[in-house]
Structure 1
Amino acid sequence: MSKKKIELFIAMSLDGYIADTQGSVGWLEEIEGTGDNGYTTFLNEIDTVVMGHTTYKQLFTLTDTFPYSKKHVYVFSNEKAGTKDENAAFVNGSVENWLETTEGKSIWLVGGAQLVKKFLEEKQIDRFIITVAPIILGDGIPLFEKGAREQLLLEEVVQYGQFTQMTYRKKE
């Protein structure tokens, strides 16, 4: 069986927040960028999407149509684990156990911060594609919660208008 590749593709403020104190990412729309920051290319390369339950619920406040209908979608959730809806299967437990059962080979870890920490604790993120927005929020939901630790190697830096995208891989 070939190794599954897990990539975190996410945007954050210059001071490290992925959402404001209300959980909103609306501040991202205030910043001038060029193109879609590599999003479409990245989305075409993955077959599976995994996210936390709060991130899943927030998707429906951002768009009228579910954006990942052509992908395998999994949502880590304590209260809905073992169920499905029209868009996703709800799972819980260890990341390693989930990886053994999922058919996905190229997996996008969408977020949020608690799930990112869980994947980090289990050493399951292979690449980190982090787009930094030139805004200081001062408070909010941090990308990396306290206790998260991983040594990374820089692969690439790309500028998209006012955004800077850095790609790292975990150090073996």
Structure 2
Amino acid sequence: MTEKRIELFIAMSLDGYIADKAGSVAWLEEIEGEGDNGYTTFLDEIDTVVMGHTTYKQLFTLTDTFPYSKKHVYVFSNEKAGTKDEYAAFVNGSVKNWLENTSGKSIWLVGGAQLVKKFLEEQQIDRFIITVAPIILGDGTPLFEKGTKEQLELEEVVKYGQFTQMTYRKKE
């Protein structure tokens, strides 16, 4: 069996928030980047997208077209588990169990914070690609909850305009 690779590719503020206190990520649009911060290249390398239900709902407020229509899309959701819509299959339960039952090999963990926590608790993130925006929000949704601990090794640091992207892998 081919090994599955789970990658967290996400942006956060300098003080560690992935959304402001209203739950918005609009602040990312205010910062001068360079290109798409590696997004297109990353997206081309993955075959499966997984996210939480809140992140899924937020997608439809940010764009007119569903951006992952050429990927297998899964949404962790307690209320809709076991169902599908035109874009995604809704799942719940353990991450490990889901991984055993999905055919995806290169999996993007989109977010949000609760699902990141669940993947971390089950030690199921192989690479962390974190793009830091030069803004201090002061409050909001933290990427990592207090008490989160994971030993990582730095692979790469890339500058995209005012953004810094750091890639880490799980320390073996």
* TM-score of the aligned structures, taking structure 2 as reference length: 0.99
Does the residue aligned with 2:29 lie in a helix, a strand or coil? helix
Number of residue pairs matched?
172
Deviation at 1:147, TM superposition (A): 2.5
Aligned to 1:141: 141
Secondary structure, counterpart of 2:165 in structure 1: strand
**RMSD (Å) for aligned C-alpha atoms:** 0.4
Q: 1:123 is paired with a residue of what secondary structure?
A: coil
1:89 and 2:94 aligned: no
Match of 1:67 in 2: 67
The aligned runs of 1:1-172 (5 Å cut-off) are 1-172=1-172
How far has the Cα of 1:145 moved from its partner? 1.2
Distance 2:131 2:163 in 1: 6
Q: What SS is found at the alignment partner of 2:100?
A: helix
Q: Which runs of 5+ in 1 are unaligned?
A: none
Q: CA deviation at 1:87?
A: 0.2
Q: Counterpart amino acid of 2:69?
A: S
Deviation at 1:130, TM superposition (A): 0.1
Unaligned runs of at least 5 residues, structure 2: none
**Secondary structure of the equivalent of 1:114?**
helix
- Amino acid of the structure 2 residue aligned with 1:161: G
User: What's the % identity of the aligned pairs?
Assistant: 90
Runs of 4+ in 1 over 3 A off after TM superposition: none
Which amino acid counterpart does residue 51 of structure 1 have in structure 2? Answer: M
What is the DSSP-based 3-state SS (H/G/I as helix, E as strand, rest coil) of the residue aligned with 1:129? Answer: strand
Deviates more, 1:79-88 or 1:144-153: 144-153
How big is the shift at 1:146?
Answer: 2.0
Equivalent AA in structure 1 for residue 62 of structure 2: L
> Secondary structure of the residue that 2:58 maps to in structure 1?
helix
**What is the alpha-carbon distance in structure 2 between the residues aligned to residue 93 and residue 123 of structure 1?**
15
Between the aligned partners of 2:145 and 2:47, the Cα distance in structure 1 is 27
Tell me the distance in 2 between the aligned counterparts of 1:140 and 1:46. 29
